[in-house]
Structure 1
Amino acid sequence: MNTDRAFLVIDMQQEDGFPLHGFDQVIHNSARLLDATRHAGIPIFYTRHINAADGSDLPPGEPLDPTGRPLSYCAGTRQVAIIERLSPRPGDRVIDKPRYSAFHRTDLHQQLRQLGVRRLVVSGVLTDACVLATVLDAFALGYGVDLIADACTSTTDAAHNAALLILANWVYAIEFFSTAQYLKALDGQPHQSCRPSEPDQFAHRPEQFVATIARLHAALGLQRRDQE
């Protein structure tokens, strides 16, 4: 087994309380990545965001229904199950988490260290919430990160890309890939990626947001998604 890195699939669950931009393509890309990483012997970790059904232990202000139950990722409901097409297989690991970051109040860091993992391949949702928080914590804990940009998404394309730019500007141990290019890299083929080399490399003014996104996507060989 190849244990210098691990594939971390963040919150690809049945939760349908909010629409996700281009989610069908993200599911398709995630399935391709899972097939390839399994073939390469890379350990796979899934996360599931789960809120206690009685509403206890929620962050302040977490939305509740009229009975006091969490509106999203409610324990004991289909919301928390991993999407069937991406279901874990024997040997895969599942980390249940109560907050955005996969490292907060979980044993993920300990499990990764026991395996000797030094770099994480990351995909999932939401780019501007759980993916962002997890990558920032991974960086703080000393991991390198390969972020698969088109295997992540959020409620809007703008939110997704805003999170990518934050990470590109301030996480110095990150490398961005498209799914197609990461599969080439995994196979030892020539590939294209974006490894930011200086702080605030993608700094921009508000009116430059779309052009800056296009610059990042061009570095990945991606066509920019239509803005919502």
Structure 2
Amino acid sequence: MGDNGKPTQERECPDLSGRAVAHLCIDMQKMFAEDTAWRTPWMDRVLPVVEEIAARHAAETIFTRFIPPHTPDDAQGSWRAYFERWRDFTRERMDPELLKLLDPLARLAPPAAVLDKPGYSPFHNTQLHQDLQARGVDTLVVTGAETDMCVAAAVFSAVERGYFVVLVKDALCSSSDDTHDALIKLYAQRFGQQIFLTTAEPLLAAWPER
């Protein structure tokens, strides 16, 4: 099932000018950037890169926000136990300010769109796929947090729905070096026909502004 061809990061960045591209930026929110138990330490480092991509393509950008339930009892299945463990991150307890996008990104919406999601994948229980199809989008540039959690869920959901995914390595962050590296290796070695790994500079050269 895997792709045994040449690893994606060794290939030249494809020209995206002829594709219908959207930028899907995952969960660049204050609760992951500020001093909380869910802090993602690299977020500060990747924020300027994410901002540059989003600013150049604001109309094509969709910022997702992870929105926890009001209480654990409002969650289903294993999510209920999850939010029992992380009760301080339910909406009945947390500062609603923490749900917001980081300020440099929030200023881009609109024209950028904001999509709230109840779980890891932005395709689950949302209209994202339908909206992308209505716009004719066939390619997703993915940035954000975390590489091995919500980004992974977004990437695999996108691949299952037939999108070509461009992952921007210097615009991704995680709270775990080991699992970040493991996911990057997995994307490169097993999904070479569906996922392309690049960095911001060649991406922006290959994806000109409208």
Same fold (TM over 0.5): yes
Matching of residue 113 in structure 1 with residue 133 in structure 2: yes
The residue correspondences of 1:21-40 to structure 2 (distance < 5 A) are: 21-38=41-58
The CA deviation string for residues 143-172 of structure 1, in whole angstroms up to 9 with x for no partner, is 000101111111022221112122223333
- Residues 21 and 157 in structure 1, CA contact (< 8 A), matched pair in contact too: no
Name 1:144's counterpart in structure 2: 164
AA of the residue aligned to 1:156? S
Name 2:68's counterpart in structure 1: 51
Moved more, 119-128 or 177-186: 177-186
The CA deviation string for residues 169-225 of structure 1, in whole angstroms up to 9 with x for no partner, is 33331111111221222249xxxxxxxxxxxxxxxxxxxxxxxxxxxxxxxxxxxxx
Matching of residue 14 in structure 1 with residue 30 in structure 2: yes
Q: Take 1:175 and 1:120, find their aligned partners in 2: how far apart are those partners?
A: 10
Q: Take 1:116 and 1:106, find their aligned partners in 2: how far apart are those partners?
A: 18
* Equivalent position SS for 1:101: coil
- Residues 51 and 70 in structure 1, CA contact (< 8 A), matched pair in contact too: no
Name 1:95's counterpart in structure 2: 115
Q: Which has the higher helix share?
A: 2
TM-score normalised to the size of structure 1?
0.72
Name 2:198's counterpart in structure 1: 177
The CA deviation string for residues 21-76 of structure 1, in whole angstroms up to 9 with x for no partner, is 422121111111112223xxx511111100112221251431436xxx73336377
* Equivalent position SS for 1:169: helix
TM-score normalised to the size of structure 2?
0.78
Moved more, 6-15 or 84-93: 84-93
Q: Take 2:19 and 2:207, find their aligned partners in 1: how far apart are those partners?
A: 14
- Residues 6 and 117 in structure 1, CA contact (< 8 A), matched pair in contact too: yes
Identity %: 29
Task: Structure 2: give runs of 5+ residues left out of the alignment.
Answer: 1-17
Q: How many residues align?
A: 181
Q: Take 1:21 and 1:167, find their aligned partners in 2: how far apart are those partners?
A: 23
Q: Take 1:113 and 1:83, find their aligned partners in 2: how far apart are those partners?
A: 28
Give, in angstroms, the shift of residue 140 of structure 1. Answer: 0.4
AA of the residue aligned to 1:32? E
Q: Name the CA shift for 1:168/1:73 in 2 (closer, same or farther; >3 Å).
A: farther
Q: Take 2:71 and 2:38, find their aligned partners in 1: how far apart are those partners?
A: 21
Alignment partner of 2:89 out of 54, 68, 72:
72
The CA deviation string for residues 117-136 of structure 1, in whole angstroms up to 9 with x for no partner, is 00000000011000001100
Between 1 and 2, higher relative CO (CA 8 Å, sep ≥ 6) is seen in 2
Q: CA RMSD in A?
A: 2.2
* Equivalent position SS for 2:64: strand
Matching of residue 125 in structure 1 with residue 145 in structure 2: yes
Give, in angstroms, the shift of residue 3 of structure 1. Answer: 7.7
Q: Take 1:175 and 1:73, find their aligned partners in 2: how far apart are those partners?
A: 35
Give, in angstroms, the shift of residue 10 of structure 1. Answer: 0.4
